[in-house]
């Protein structure tokens, strides 16, 4: 397993991050623990979860599953970097959502109980809160860091200017600020290249892409359809808009002798600022398949052909101005 630093930090994490969103809703606890064991044994030391995962509002079901796996001991906690998130609704009361100091503090304490840990390695804001001032947010995060309950703070789904806002507010407080940003990023969805990635590189944030395979469109969907496997109506609708690109993509993957899913993940690993794409397996087979991407080397010619099929927007402002 290869490791890299999370942005400008000294923290070293695996080049793939194990996403746990399916643990509970689609994957049984027993199978979830087996996947985490396999990930750990193969050197993946970076696991991502969130308080709202599990589909049962307020329960934090996925965090509980991860917590019971960590509680098995054997070095699981000490050798694993655990990332979780705050923002989403954990109840119907007025202060059980968003990023008020009250919710941040209560949500962190609740996540620690569910995860059976004394601190979170990476505590991520799941979305920007436009109605809470940065001084309040950073005051709450600073307190958690001072208390030893959080080591690093990250963001998710932030725009480039949100990252700049957050970092300049942190700088004014002499606080470290954000260590990472988690964004939707894949060959089909490259808008983060306009300003989010430049902001991450400028401020030293590690980028953690989610949905690296475009909700399955980059995982060999046409081949699966020919084999008689079905897709959701939403996936079929998205495919209808991108069919020509996906056909060219799968043909290129055939030329390269690689699976489409492996090429899609490998492409992300070649992009600047990317720390670790999030893989979200439902099954052990899917997890083991994801590891093959680590062995796929894309040369300049292959990368250029991928850019031709899926052209990115380019960095701002040159992408839309002279």
Q: Token digits for 181? A: 């940003």
Q: CA–CA separation, 34 vs 40, rounded Å?
A: 10
Residues composing the chain: 322
245-254 — which CB contacts under 8 Å span 24+ positions? 245/188, 245/309, 245/310, 246/217, 246/218, 246/221, 246/222, 247/222, 248/309, 249/187, 249/218, 249/306, 249/309, 249/310, 250/220, 250/222, 250/223, 252/302, 252/305, 252/306, 252/309, 253/220
Annotated catalytic residue, options 53, 87, 203, 249: 53
Known catalytic membership, residue 53 = yes
What are the residues whose beta carbons fall under 8 Å from the beta carbon of 288, sequence distance 6 or more?
38
**How far, in Å, are 44, 100, 118, 131 from residue 114 at the CA level?**
22, 21, 11, 28
Backbone phi and psi for residue 80, each to the nearest 5 degrees, phi listed first: -125, 130
Residue 304 tokens read as 């250029």
Among all residues, which ones are annotated catalytic? 53
């Amino acid at each position: 397993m290869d490791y890299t630093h999370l942005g400008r930090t000294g923290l070293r994490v695996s080049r793939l991050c194990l996403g746990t969103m399916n643990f509970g809703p689609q994957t049984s606890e027993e199978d979830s623990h087996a996947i985490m064991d396999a990930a750990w044994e193969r050197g993946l030391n970076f696991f991502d979860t969130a308080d709202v995962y599990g589909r049962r509002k307020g329960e934090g079901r996925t965090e509980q599953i991860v917590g019971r796996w960590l509680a098995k001991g054997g070095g699981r906690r000490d050798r694993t970097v655990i990332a979780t998130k705050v923002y989403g609704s954990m109840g119907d009361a007025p202060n059980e959502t968003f990023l008020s100091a009250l919710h941040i503090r209560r949500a962190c304490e609740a996540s620690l109980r569910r995860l059976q840990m004394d601190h979170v390695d990476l505590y991520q804001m799941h979305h920007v809160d436009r109605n809470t001032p940065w001084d309040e947010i950073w005051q709450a995060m600073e307190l958690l860091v001072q208390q030893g309950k959080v080591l690093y703070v990250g963001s998710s789904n932030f725009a480039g200017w949100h990252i700049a806002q957050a970092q300049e507010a942190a700088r004014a407080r002499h606080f470290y600020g954000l260590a990472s940003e988690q964004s939707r990023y894949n060959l089909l969805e490259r808008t983060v290249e306009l300003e989010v990635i430049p902001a991450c590189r400028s401020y030293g944030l590690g980028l953690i892409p989610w949905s690296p395979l475009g909700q399955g469109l980059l995982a060999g969907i046409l081949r699966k359809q020919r084999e008689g496997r079905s897709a959701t109506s939403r996936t079929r609708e998205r495919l209808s808009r991108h069919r020509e690109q996906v056909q060219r993509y799968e043909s290129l993957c055939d030329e390269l002798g690689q699976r489409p899913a492996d090429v899609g993940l490998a492409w992300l690993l070649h992009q600047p600022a990317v720390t670790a794409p999030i893989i979200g397996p439902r099954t052990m087979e899917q997890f083991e398949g994801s590891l093959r991407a680590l062995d796929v080397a894309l040369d300049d010619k292959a990368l250029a052909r991928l850019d031709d099929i899926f052209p990115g927007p380019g960095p701002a402002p040159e992408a839309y101005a002279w």
